[in-house]
Structure 1
Amino acid sequence: MSGRSLPSRQINIVLRQPESHASPLADTEPQLLGKRTPQDGPLSDIFKELNHMIGLDNVKELVHEIYALLQISHFRTEAGLSSNSHVYHMIFKGSPGTGKTTVARLMGRMFHAMGVLSKGHFIEVERADLVGEYIGHTALKTRELIKKAMGGILFIDEAYSLARGGDKDFGKESIDALVKGMEDKKNDFILILAGYSEEMEQFLATNPGLPSRFPIQVEFEDYHIDQLIQITELMAKEREYVLLPHTIAKLKQHLTEEKAVTWRAFSNARYVRNLLEKSMRHQAVRLLSQYTSSPSKAELMSIRPEDLKIK
């Protein structure tokens, strides 16, 4: 499918993390919130990956809505009916480590599998990749990146940094080039801008025409403590490690304190990933000092409280 026009209304979605304590380690079928989803092929794999992500119920619902819309549009075309096209440029708002980049990658793959994007590849950039050093250089760099993104996703993290320098900053030149690219090549790529919620709101306010060009705006809320524990357990399982009960208790206490102190800069899943990998290194040092021969399989897998070296 190809060709998309701007929907008549903007979709604003808040991703509220559910208060679920269900184990993230159980196998799940490719179903999203009880909806019908593809059972085989590339799309099935995409939905399985999304379904295994902790929380994000609203974004799962959004992905299903887009899938359903594209599928029904296909059926309408086959039936000889008109099929309305849509624009899928998006704004992802939220703290680091809340799944924005991962979801953007999955969407690129889904749009490719559904025939909206010819390649579905993912290009992630930031201000330094877009803004040049002299007049005209920025527009050239931005157009080149748009060209590379043709058929896929162009993902700009901390997009609000493009507007921080004021009217005389070259960032404005990049914004203008992006807006023009969105209009001229709206059927050929999808632009996703991401960053902190408040800063993204301020960024959108700098140009009256910007908000309407992004029909889908998604708020990624921070994970609560129980979800961060689930995410850590899932990451450990993927690496064939196990967090012992006392380790989990220690981690939960630490996360509660850390979030209270560094709520603005807390990096969510990224934080617990770094903490887990640090604990794996500490475990390796501990095992080498404790054993003269190979430790048991259980010991090799176990992350003990003393491995979680946190204040």
Structure 2
Amino acid sequence: MAMNKTNEIRKEYLSSTSIVYTGAFNGEVYNVSDRFMTYGMYLKEGETLGFEIVMKSGEPYKNYIYLDSDKEVCADEFDWIFGNYAKVIPDKYILEDKTPKNDRIKYRAVACESMNMNFIDEDILYTSHKSEYFEAMCKEISEVGGHISVIIKAGGNKDGNAGSIIFDFPQRISKKLKSLISMVFYGCVLEEVRDEVSDNSISKNNLRGYIIILLKILGLQQKLDKDSIDNLELGVRSYNALKKANITSIKKLLEMSDEELLKVRNLGRKNVAEIRTQLIEKNYISSCEDEFFENMEILEFHPIPEDIFDDIVDKRNYMDELQALVGIKSAKDQVKKILAFAKMRKAMEEKGEQLEPITLNMEFVGNPGTAKTTVARIVAGVLKEIGIITSGEFIEVGRADLVAQYVGQTAPMVKSVFQRAKGGVLFIDEAYSLLDKGNGRFGDEALNTIVQEMENNRKDTIVIFAGYPDEMDEFFLRNPGLRSRVPFRVRFDDYTTDELSDICELEAGKRGFLIDVKAKELIKEICESSTGNIENGNGRFCRNLVEKAVLNFALRNYGGDEAAENIEYILKKEDFNDITVFNRKKTAIGF
């Protein structure tokens, strides 16, 4: 991924022994987290490495990375943490006094060993930032003027602990905010501390994941706040009209509908179309939301001492992941055959066999939440390992990412999506929504361009079309030319009640929880009520059910002034009572 050179980091000096970096440090430079942790493992006695986010309502989040030492700090060595991931401005500034304020309330995140959080995997991180809790947590922390800090102290690697996460507030926070923080920062609870924190309390496995969460907090706001409309190649009329209307940031521009833009003086439909086209070409539309986690190639940026992350990063065994998925036996068997076929073809080509060209484009059909997207991600990983595709990139899109509102915009949108997916897998969800049936124009143009781009990129890009069975049948009937380019069809069956219950147990296990017998019985009843309702039939149902139960557990055990002692992380029946995660209206099966 190209480095974002708009990230400017100021190097600030408190003294000759204390350097602080501040500025735009967002999700696109997440690789710094690994360098930050690695550097922290080699601190000398008396040195402290810190990363702090200051959140204040109505203002951009500020962030600081600093190194405190009792010796002269080698600035060039510390610069290595940033490498080429951000541009360092060499000017010197004096930062406000960072001496701890005794009148603020501090909470330390304490990792619960009994929750078995040995590794916060990518799926959990991805889910946490897509959940309702993430944005709610950020909003509440900023409203009360909270600070979040990562502190790594020298000599703190005893017992495998690498650092501390400190939440700093002007006053004691509500039980709700404590619960929100525990939901986002998986595997930890908050413990109020009165004195300066002197020991490291978070394992390096979890600390790294928590740092990525902090980077996502910054990415939530900073990318669009810092990016100006100057980044768009607009004509004079469009640019001046936006400037005069005080629409100067990409964030503000994206928040406006076309109708709102048309109300801006001197902006006509042609100008609005120009603005939208530029947002597409500069990847502000359709890519900014998921870019952070879809491009997470964690440790490929720089050589790191081999033994440091041995217990963190193992090579993924994609086939084991596929086999471990609950249910969908027919789909798993078919995918295994397709992947075995791809592996055989690759082996034959390497032996010099002259083979007829064939494409591996696929059709995934099934009701919502039957793991179609998860399996597609696994397919991308396996095909990269085999060498069929080069990047393993997984790009998921829908109609909004492929069909524009104005003439001349749709084809560039489609081509931009294929450019992002080059060397990887393009996953088109609800592909039948591209059909023009009263929901707008230009769907046919998008389909024609998709067929063209599939042909142009058939050697190194695989397209997977996904959606409901009946609608997908109609989709391909309407597009016979497309059907011939998609030779493989994989059907994903609905989950049974027992399988839904198993998924709930797995979701609880990911969060470090067990479920007791009575709670399991209630879960089966809830799952039985959800089957037959297409609106409830998705994996999100199980995740939501467990997340709400965990939130109830947190409130029950940590909602008081002091946490209970000897807590067992077992979800009970009462944690699942009065949870609304589905509609009771019965329709065709959908899970």
Aligned to 1:272: 542
The alignment status of 1:227 with 2:499, answered yes or no, reads: yes
- Specify the SS of the correspondent of 1:213: coil
| Equivalent of 1:66 in 324, 334, 338 | 338
The alignment status of 1:50 with 2:322, answered yes or no, reads: yes
Q: Offset at 1:168? A: 7.6
Aligned to 2:574: 306
Q: Offset at 1:169? A: 1.7
Higher relative contact order (CA 8 A, sep 6+): 1
Q: Offset at 1:166? A: 5.9
| Equivalent of 2:555 in 276, 282, 285 | 285
- Specify the SS of the correspondent of 1:91: strand
The alignment status of 1:122 with 2:394, answered yes or no, reads: yes
The alignment status of 1:180 with 2:452, answered yes or no, reads: yes
| Per-residue Cα deviation, 1:158-181 (whole angstroms, up to 9, x for no partner) | 111110436982111100000111
- Specify the SS of the correspondent of 1:210: helix
Q: Provide structure 2 residue ranges, at least 5 long, that are not aligned to the other structure.
A: 1-313, 581-591
Q: Is the 8 A contact 1:160 1:195 kept in 2?
A: yes
| Equivalent of 1:106 in 378, 381, 393 | 378
Letter of the 1:310 partner, please give it: I
Matches within 5 A, 1:83-232: 83-165=355-437, 169-232=441-504
Deviates more, 1:143-152 or 1:72-81: 72-81
Letter of the 2:506 partner, please give it: L
Change in Cα spacing, 1:70 to 1:156, as seen in structure 2 (3 Å) is: closer
Deviates more, 1:67-76 or 1:174-183: 67-76
Change in Cα spacing, 1:296 to 1:94, as seen in structure 2 (3 Å) is: same
Change in Cα spacing, 1:225 to 1:167, as seen in structure 2 (3 Å) is: closer
Query: Partners of 1:265 and 1:210 in 2: how far apart?
Result: 29
Q: Is the 8 A contact 2:428 2:465 kept in 1?
A: yes
Change in Cα spacing, 1:254 to 1:142, as seen in structure 2 (3 Å) is: same
Considering only CA atoms, is the larger Rg found in Structure 1 or Structure 2? Answer: 2
Answer 1 or 2: which has greater helix percent. Answer: 1
Change in Cα spacing, 1:95 to 1:78, as seen in structure 2 (3 Å) is: closer
Letter of the 1:227 partner, please give it: E
Q: Offset at 1:78? A: 4.9
Query: Partners of 2:529 and 2:418 in 1: how far apart?
Result: 43
RMSD: 2.2
Write out the 4+ residue segments of structure 1 that deviate beyond 6 Å after TM superposition: none
- Specify the SS of the correspondent of 2:464: strand
Aligned to 1:36: none
Q: Offset at 1:69? A: 2.4
Query: Partners of 2:488 and 2:572 in 1: how far apart?
Result: 44
| Equivalent of 2:521 in 249, 253, 265 | 249
Aligned to 1:11: none
Change in Cα spacing, 1:104 to 1:133, as seen in structure 2 (3 Å) is: same
Aligned to 1:14: none
Q: Is the 8 A contact 1:95 1:266 kept in 2?
A: no
Q: Provide structure 1 residue ranges, at least 5 long, that are not aligned to the other structure.
A: 1-40
| Per-residue Cα deviation, 1:138-173 (whole angstroms, up to 9, x for no partner) | 011101111111100111111111104369821111
Query: Partners of 1:232 and 1:167 in 2: how far apart?
Result: 36
Aligned to 2:235: none
Answer 1 or 2: which has greater strand percent. Answer: 2
- Specify the SS of the correspondent of 2:369: coil
Query: Partners of 2:570 and 2:579 in 1: how far apart?
Result: 17
Query: Partners of 1:242 and 1:103 in 2: how far apart?
Result: 26
Aligned to 1:258: 530
Under a length normalisation based on structure 1, what TM-score does the superposition of the two structures give? 0.79
Q: Is the 8 A contact 1:254 1:310 kept in 2?
A: no
Aligned to 2:179: none
Query: Partners of 2:531 and 2:332 in 1: how far apart?
Result: 26
The alignment status of 1:81 with 2:353, answered yes or no, reads: yes
- Specify the SS of the correspondent of 1:192: strand
Query: Partners of 1:77 and 1:139 in 2: how far apart?
Result: 34
Query: Partners of 2:555 and 2:574 in 1: how far apart?
Result: 11
Q: Is the 8 A contact 2:504 2:542 kept in 1?
A: yes
Q: Is the 8 A contact 1:228 1:268 kept in 2?
A: no
Letter of the 2:382 partner, please give it: M
Q: Is the 8 A contact 1:143 1:181 kept in 2?
A: yes
Percent identical among aligned pairs is 36
Query: Partners of 1:157 and 1:274 in 2: how far apart?
Result: 22
Query: Partners of 1:214 and 1:167 in 2: how far apart?
Result: 25
Query: Partners of 1:104 and 1:208 in 2: how far apart?
Result: 24
Q: Is the 8 A contact 1:165 1:171 kept in 2?
A: no
Deviates more, 1:148-157 or 1:163-172: 163-172
Change in Cα spacing, 1:290 to 1:306, as seen in structure 2 (3 Å) is: farther
Q: Is the 8 A contact 2:365 2:489 kept in 1?
A: yes
Letter of the 1:124 partner, please give it: E
Letter of the 1:57 partner, please give it: K
| Per-residue Cα deviation, 1:78-125 (whole angstroms, up to 9, x for no partner) | 544334442111111112111011111111111111111011101111
Task: Count matched residues.
Answer: 266
Q: Offset at 1:226? A: 0.3
Q: Offset at 1:185? A: 1.6
Q: Is the 8 A contact 1:98 1:222 kept in 2?
A: yes
